[in-house]
Amino acid sequence: MEKKHPLPPFNAETAKQKVQLAEDAWNSKDPVKISLAYSQDTEWRNRNQFINGRQEVQEFLKDKWQKELEYKLKKELWAFLDNRIAVRFEYEYRNKDGQWFRAYGNENWEFDADGLMQKRYASINDLKIKETQRKL
C-alpha cells in the first residue's frame, strides 16, 4: 500500500513538512511526481474546475504549465487539525504573450490514513503584474 509521509494526525511540525513537500513538488512542474501525493480517487476543485483521480490531475497539471510559463510557487501553513491542512499561497507566471501574473489563493486539504491527499479545494485569484513587480 502507498504511504506518503508524514502521516496524519498532523502536529505543527508535520503539517509544515507536508506543506513544504507540496511546494517543492509543485515547483518541480512534474505532473506524475506531483500526482503521487494524491490518492487514486482524489477529488479537486481548482477555481471552477472539478478534477477526479490521479490521471485527471496529471492532465490538468500538464495543461496548466503549457499556459503558465516560468511558474514559481510559495505555500504557507495557515491551520491544521487531525488529517486536514489549510494553506495560503501565491505564485507567479507569465502567459505566452509575455504578461506576468501573481495568483493568490487558499487551499483546504484532507488526507487519508496513508498520508495521500484525498481532497483539495482551491480558491485562486489572478492579478496582472509587470515583470519588475515579481517577488518570487
Residues 114-135: tens digit of each pLDDT: 999 999 999 999 999 999 999 9
Q: What CA–CA distance (Å, rounded) separates 3 from 31?
A: 18
Provide the phi-psi class of 55: left if phi over 0, else alpha when psi is between -120 and 50, else beta.
alpha
Rounded percentage of the chain residues whose pLDDT exceeds 90: 99
- Cell for 77? 501553513
**Is the pLDDT reported for residue 21 higher than 90?**
yes
Q: What CA–CA distance (Å, rounded) separates 114 from 3?
A: 5
**Is the pLDDT reported for residue 1 higher than 80?**
no
Rounded percentage of the chain residues whose pLDDT exceeds 70: 100
Q: DSSP string covering 62-79, please?
A: HHHHHHSEEEEEEEEEEE
74-129 residue pLDDT tens? 999 999 999 999 999 999 999 999 999 999 999 999 999 999 999 999 999 999 99
